[in-house]
Copies of this chain bind each other. A is one copy, B any other.
């Protein structure tokens, strides 16, 4: 993650992983989520925070989840309904479950199907925010498979190439693959130049937005660096940024995501219906294609080769997707997770009001 998205040193409160986990679980339980499911949702968020993906941890969205449980927009005790199932596939109506609630369940079903048949996929509709895709793809890698996850992240946020109005969401995608000794590959990105939550992070951190990341409300790319505008005052650009720089590639990738998450799942087109979007989870069993031991050795050889590429002038080293996140995780497990004091203050005030014990300092 770019430096500007990180919490400025003066605002950092370091919290031990166990403490933030306990508080987050208690907050989910207070919203009516069961003990086991509260632990599962919390694991998604805290794993993101540990891996340096704080745009998708407890900082930005937990307060919205709590609010949505409060208004019954989210269902704390959903019953998943299997809409359609084949040997390798399943489509689920998640009964208004938060994405972090249904996601681990769905990915595990994809993995189980892949174990039996070589590949497995689960499409999920009628569900809330997934908190990124990386956690779920990684579940497959941790079980010796290649994992893939997408979510059609909302709609009417991102301006298509040549367009003047927003159509899709940030439509994130992730793939993960295990290695033997090298940190696993985990590629986990929005198909926009920048995730929406990172605009919030930059705002909280007093940092600027790079030219070519967002557009004005006429869909015109803003090419100079500016302070992050408020929500509703900008649209996002697809990967590539401007038309000249190939935003049609990011746009196409986002549309692939929309088609698989919303049309293949039977949820229907998010941009047309204004719906928040479905999720998609897929696992490939390595043994169905090749020898897993050879795969792990080849991955080590590939990833080491890349990490050893001489850096360009002015840079320290080449990093592949997943390398820095693995290092962050080790460091934060030891030294705590750096949260913005504003986030900790939210925890403390929410917990005080709800009568939840909360020990974060």
| Docked-complex contact B163 and A84, CB < 8 angstroms | no
| Docked-complex contact B162 and A302, CB < 8 angstroms | no
Interface residues of A in 55-108 (CB under 8 A from B): 83-84, 86-89, 91
How far apart are the CA atoms of A266 and B299 in the complex, in Å?
11
| Contact string against B for A residues 159-178, beta-carbon threshold 8 Å, 1 for contact and 0 otherwise | 11111110100000001010
What size tier do the contact residues of chain A reach? 35 or more
| Docked-complex contact A87 and B306, CB < 8 angstroms | no
Of all chain B residues, which has the CB nearest A116?
A: B87
| Docked-complex contact B264 and A146, CB < 8 angstroms | yes
How far apart are the CA atoms of A258 and B302 in the complex, in Å?
9
**Complex contacts, A175 vs chain B, CB 8 Å:** 256, 259
Segment of A16-24, A314-322, A329-337, A341-349 engaged in the interface with chain B: A314-322
Contact pick for A263, options B219, B245, B299, B317, CB 8 Å: B299
A157 at the interface (CB under 8 A from B): no
| Docked-complex contact B165 and A290, CB < 8 angstroms | no
| Distance between A245 CB and nearest chain B CB, rounded to angstroms | 6
Q: Which of A289, A301, A309, A315 has the most CB of B within 10 A?
A: A289
How far apart are the CA atoms of A252 and B220 in the complex, in Å?
28
A248 at the interface (CB under 8 A from B): yes
**Complex contacts, A294 vs chain B, CB 8 Å:** 266
A32 at the interface (CB under 8 A from B): no
| Docked-complex contact A163 and B318, CB < 8 angstroms | yes
A232 at the interface (CB under 8 A from B): no
| Docked-complex contact A272 and B302, CB < 8 angstroms | yes
| Docked-complex contact B259 and A299, CB < 8 angstroms | yes
| Docked-complex contact A263 and B318, CB < 8 angstroms | no
Q: Which A residues lie at the B interface, using CB under 8 A? A: 83-84, 86-89, 91, 117-121, 123, 146, 159-165, 167, 175, 177, 185, 187, 189, 193-194, 210, 212, 218-220, 239-241, 243-246, 248-253, 255-256, 258-260, 262-266, 268-269, 271-272, 284-286, 288-291, 294-295, 298-299, 301-302, 305-306, 309-313, 315-321
